[in-house]
Amino acid sequence: MDHSKKDSNTKRLIRVSRRNVIKGLGAASALTASGLVPGAMRYAQAQSSAPIKIGFQAHLTGIGAAYGRWYQRTTLAAVKLINDTGGIGGRPIELVTEDDGTDPKRGAEVVEKFATEHKVDFVFGTLFSHVVVGSAPTAGQLKMPYFVVSEGYHVASGKLNRYVFQPGITDVRSQVISMAPWVAGNLGKKVAMIFPDYAFGHDHRDFFTKAIAAQGGEAIKHIPVPATETSYTRYFAQIPAETEVIYHVMVGPGVLTFVKEMGEHFGSKRPQIFGFIDSLEAVDMASPGLEFLDGTYFWEAFPRYAQKDQSAFDKFYRQAVGVNENGAAVDDPKDVSTYSHMFGCWETLYVIKAAVEQSGYRSATPKDKAALIESVEAMTDFAESNEHPQGAKKFNGQLHQVFAHQSISKVEGGRLNVVHRTAIEDGMYEPEADYRTQSL
């Protein structure tokens, strides 16, 4: 981080000149930049050799820190890989990381700092919805392309602005509605929903209730849990006796308690249980108390445990990030990743790379930025590949939002085994916005 300051000075010195030697970037990227690496040759003539600076807005402290660490690892792995294989159009990525403390006010300040102090080309990587919504206006006002990896229904709702994109991970609305047909068809039609009593939980409540009704089912009970709650047992008392499926989504450090207490409450006489893996991201499935989850189902964006039909891309991605076949760190099997979210960082960086290369983006001028944004908006399909290891995706340029396959996994012997994979279309909905009508 401290050499970023040096580099910002360096960048000021070398801004457009092509002949300069870049300091502090390592020999490999210098080779790339000077065009000695064959793969980079074809870009080297057209582009300035200065690095592309990307600001990484990271939740390294505060409530998002468990996710933030894995977002950082994934991002560093992707940046290293991109730089080792010729960079973006022959230019290496220089990553500048700033912690936002998972706070929306500080988040906005960090975006500002990226734009005016570090003078980055793009900002990327934000996870928590309130930080995204708090930072997005600043990005829009400073005309800073802002790529978030948040899964919130904020970009796609049209409430943000033309500079904000979510091209690496599906939004919660899409995830939720794609689950309804399978839940109604396989688990039951009378659903009791337990969710946190704030925006994230309300999105689940509203979208799933409609989606399950469309399948002939019914959300027979809504059980909102207040934000400040640390103990959940008494909420289980509100689950009606005729419930066929419990739908749960909890976030934060209390989630393990939630699952455990659910187990103690029901014992073996339980309804079917379907939950969102958000509850157990970064949590070891072998944790005490989780035995109870055996036989229950989870939504996963990207299966944490390597499946029998694991794609070569998943294998490649795991190896690059340093994640083993159980979704934990290779060097510490107790350190479980946030596998269903962090791939979004990886894929987003490749979307940025593609956009820069397609649009001929050179520097942070209004013209280049406009071209970049228009070329992201023109994207439609991402093929399953090393760049998009989670699977094929459809990008909606009107909504600035990507749509993907989702998985439903069953817990069996402390492992999550995929039992169903949705079609991308299952998660599509009628767009409510069109960012392309906003001026740049």
Which residues ranging from 198 to 217 are in contact with other proteins (CB under 8 A)?
A: 198-200, 202
Contact predicate 125/75, CB 8 Å: yes
Residue 364 makes CB contacts below 8 A (sequence gap 6+) with 119, 120, 121
Q: What is the dihedral of CA 374, 75, 339, 428, to 10 degrees?
A: 0
| Residues from 350 through 409 that contact other proteins (CB under 8 A) | none
DSSP string, 260-284: HHHHHHHTT---EEEEEGGGGTT--
Residue 131 CA, distance from chain mean position: 14
Q: Of these, 20, 30, 34, 63, which contacts other proteins (CB under 8 A)?
A: 63
Binding mask 312-351 for other proteins (x = CB under 8 A): -----------------------xx---------------
Q: Of these, 154, 204, 304, 393, which contacts other proteins (CB under 8 A)?
A: 154
Q: Report in angstroms how near the CB of residue 395 gets to other proteins at its nearest.
A: 23
Contact predicate 187/245, CB 8 Å: yes
- Give the whole-angstrom CA distance, residue 67 versus residue 412: 25
Report if residue 248 touches other proteins, rule: CB under 8 A. no
Q: Report in angstroms how near the CB of residue 314 gets to other proteins at its nearest.
A: 23
Q: Of these, 152, 275, 327, 391, which contacts other proteins (CB under 8 A)?
A: 152
Report if residue 159 touches other proteins, rule: CB under 8 A. yes
Q: Number of H helices and number of E strands within the chain?
A: 13, 17
Q: Of these, 94, 98, 121, 278, which contacts other proteins (CB under 8 A)?
A: 98
Angle made by CA atoms 325, 388, 416, in degrees to the nearest 5: 30
Cβ closest to other proteins, residue 50 vs residue 239: 239
Binding mask 252-291 for other proteins (x = CB under 8 A): -xxxxx--xx--xxxx--------------xx---xxx--
Cβ closest to other proteins, residue 216 vs residue 288: 288
Q: Report in angstroms how near the CB of residue 341 gets to other proteins at its nearest.
A: 14
Q: Of these, 87, 89, 92, 104, which contacts other proteins (CB under 8 A)?
A: 104
Cβ closest to other proteins, residue 259 vs residue 349: 259
User: What Rg, from alpha-carbon coordinates, does the chain have?
Assistant: 22
| Residues from 164 through 203 that contact other proteins (CB under 8 A) | 197-200, 202
DSSP string, 144-196: --EE-----SSTTTT-S-TTEEB-SS--HHHHHHHHHHHHHHHT-SEEEEEEE
Here the tokens at position 71 are 């977002």
Using the structure block, give the residue that is written with the tokens 């734009």.
115
Contact predicate 10/33, CB 8 Å: no
Q: Of these, 11, 69, 341, 400, which contacts other proteins (CB under 8 A)?
A: 69
Q: Of these, 137, 188, 322, 414, which contacts other proteins (CB under 8 A)?
A: 137
Angle between helix axes 129-141 and 104-113 (nearest 10 degrees) is 40
Q: Of these, 31, 36, 41, 227, which contacts other proteins (CB under 8 A)?
A: 227
Here the tokens at position 225 are 């849990």
Report if residue 433 touches other proteins, rule: CB under 8 A. no
Q: Of these, 30, 35, 60, 311, which contacts other proteins (CB under 8 A)?
A: 60
Q: Report in angstroms how near the CB of residue 216 gets to other proteins at its nearest.
A: 27
Q: Report in angstroms how near the CB of residue 386 gets to other proteins at its nearest.
A: 29
Residue among 279, 276, 337, 344 nearest 304 (CA): 337
Cβ closest to other proteins, residue 6 vs residue 42: 6
Q: Of these, 8, 35, 112, 414, which contacts other proteins (CB under 8 A)?
A: 112
Q: Report in angstroms how near the CB of residue 169 gets to other proteins at its nearest.
A: 16
